[in-house]
Structure 1
Amino acid sequence: MSAKAPTCPNCGSQHTVKNGSIHNQKPKYQCQNCKRQFIENPTNKVISKDTIELIDRLLYELIPLAGIARAALVSETWLQKYVNNKYTQIPQKVKVSEKPKGKLTIECDEAWSFVASKNNKKWIWLALDKKTREIVGVYIGDHSEDGARGLWNSLPPVYRQCAVCYTDFWADYTQVIPHKRHQAVGKESGKTNHIERFNSTLRQRIARLVRKTLSFSKKLNNHIGAIWYFIHHYNSCCSA
């Protein structure tokens, strides 16, 4: 005598058939009437506060989401939804310690990245306060005058008013930064060493920015959110 087919939780029909299994080998069913897929007697795992705090810390490290899911003992599906929601809530504005008007020096540079395909390039434009090492400007976009302008506009007003900006010789900087406060220099000068080192730090700490990786971003919102998430953490450590 065959076992009674489970009832569809959506329409109440018993016209259901087996349709594979989920990750833990529990059988999955499909309703032949409404096409709903379900499992019988599902158990929803409650993610503890300690696990969420662990995940939040692991997101700062060079670990892909699949690795975090294994370490935290959560499903990749749940983790992806959690990360999607978390990154949409990250403020996209720099938080830096208050600076009085006066002599300020910043270093600016751009770092190459991509989303979904290497043909879809997204440049990370960054500005760093030479004295405090804080990231004081961020813009993610194309490698053009629009990108340089986005970086300039992201700077707190005191930097746009007072700072001397050291950059490489990329021409778009000259179209945006006031001439009297812009210094284009070569790598040999050492004037942009700190921001170039920070670019390396980004690649060492954010898996999706490593040039050869399977952890690349598939969604622009997550790409931007992951970068801002780390930058807020980095700045909080600078001011601690």
Structure 2
Amino acid sequence: MAIIIPESSYERRVKALYEKQIRMEALEGKFIKKVYKFNSNLLDVKEAVSRHQRKVGKLQKVVMERREELEKRVSFMEELAQELEATKLRNLAMKEQIKQRKMIARQRKNEIMERIHTLSKTTGTYVNQEALPARVKGVTVLRGDKRDQLIPFDLNATDAEGLNSLCQHLESLNVDVSQWQQLVSLAMDVAMEARAPTTPPKEVANCKSIIEIDLTSPTSHQA
């Protein structure tokens, strides 16, 4: 039969303290595990946040580049729109200038044709426009009491000597040579303008001050 020795109060306190320490150590171990797990999770979160921030940084850089590119495109489109508007205004101004010049040219041509018609009747001279500006070809009609005298002429436009001789001959027949020269000069001007932009021969350009014509006349084909 075992002998049971009752525990003293001191022994009970020591045992209670020992058991309490064991429990505290167990709780401390659990707490350390939880702290380690928390720290591990926290590190993972920090790494995830860091990776996210790097991605965000890259995205922000791309967004900034795209924004700058968009701003440049917008600026370019605005400049292009302004240039197009300016070009449109210039074109309208040019069209108006061309219109005015054409109108002035028509008025000038009409005035010249009227002068040619008047001089043609005054001098009785008809010029073959098909021959101009290379040749001065036509006929002068001298009105007489009984019959008219026809004086045909066909000279190279650069033949200054031949033209001078013709002028002297006409002058001897009481033809107003100054008016005759005006008629031929005006007609050659019209002929050269009608054939633009074809560049006239050098010799024709050089004799421009002598004569220039282009006249449609029913009798011009008689020459």
- What's the TM-score bracket when you normalise by the shorter of the two chains? under 0.3
TM-score (norm 1): 0.24
Q: Which has the higher helix share?
A: 2
Query: Which one has the largest radius of gyration?
Result: 2
